[in-house]
Amino acid sequence: MSVLFGVISLCVGYFGEYISKDLVLEKRLEIEKKKQEDFNDIIEEDKKKPKNKIVYLDIVIKDFMTDDRTVRVFIELFFDKVPKTARNFYELCKKNKYAGVPFHRIISGFMIQGGDITNYDGTGGKSIYGKEFNDENFRLKHDSEGLLSMANKGPNTNSSQFFITLSACPHLDGKHVVFGRVTEGMEHVRNIGTSPTDFSDRPLQDVLIIFSGEKTPDVKKKTKV
């Protein structure tokens, strides 16, 4: 009788151990499945996010003493952070609306400003949404050189005017919307930043955007000088 009881106990033990291992395996499979589902959700979410685009500005720098120079600056637009603001600049570049528009204000060590597509002197501008549009958000900070930000006349007065920083400008945070950064050609931006200016920060020699567009595989890094 005791032998039979021992055999039964042994069988129950093996069965219980089998059940336990099976439950552990099932739990592991559930965890792996959940991880895969979470990973797939992340992938799908990334697909829904707007992709950043890169545009370029061809800029001619007039010089009284030497030949004019033409340079190309590439800029990444932050569609993933400020899609409405990025879209405005992107469409203006794609449609070449900045052709003939000067950098009308240059402050050494601070920024270069341009983009007045209506009056060409810093008093005008027009967005793709009408004359002006509201500040989208101030998530990105003016914490380095080479940042593209909206110039404005106060809150919610964004149009086509923009500036590129020549240094960190924390005093502009919360007042101007950062929406891009220079990816190639920052040396040209720095050079423009050293242009001689008058008492109102207007360059004494013209610095003009002559063409703009989207970067594609066939677009070269620089125009000929």
Say how far residue 191 (Cα) sits from the centre of its chain: 23
Residue 176: active-site member:
yes
Q: Which of 79, 89, 163, 179 is catalytic?
A: 163
Residue 105: active-site member:
yes
Q: Which of 152, 161, 166, 179 is catalytic?
A: 152
Residue 87: active-site member:
no
Q: How far is CA 69 from CA 63, 64, 103, 111, in A?
A: 8, 11, 15, 20
Residue 5: active-site member:
no
Q: Which of 57, 172, 179, 208 is catalytic?
A: 172
List the one residue out of 53, 48, 140, 118 whose CA is nearest residue 91: 53
Q: What share of the chain is helix, strand, coil (3-state, %, to 5)?
A: 30, 25, 45
DSSP 66: S
Residue 79: active-site member:
no
Q: Which of 52, 69, 96, 110 is catalytic?
A: 110
Q: Which of 87, 104, 176, 188 is catalytic?
A: 176
Residue 199: active-site member:
no
d(CA 62, CA 26): 73
Cβ neighbours around 31 below 10 Å, total: 10
Residue 163: active-site member:
yes
Amino acid 147 reads L
Q: Which of 113, 158, 161, 208 is catalytic?
A: 113
Active site (catalytic) residues? 105, 110, 113, 152, 163, 172, 176
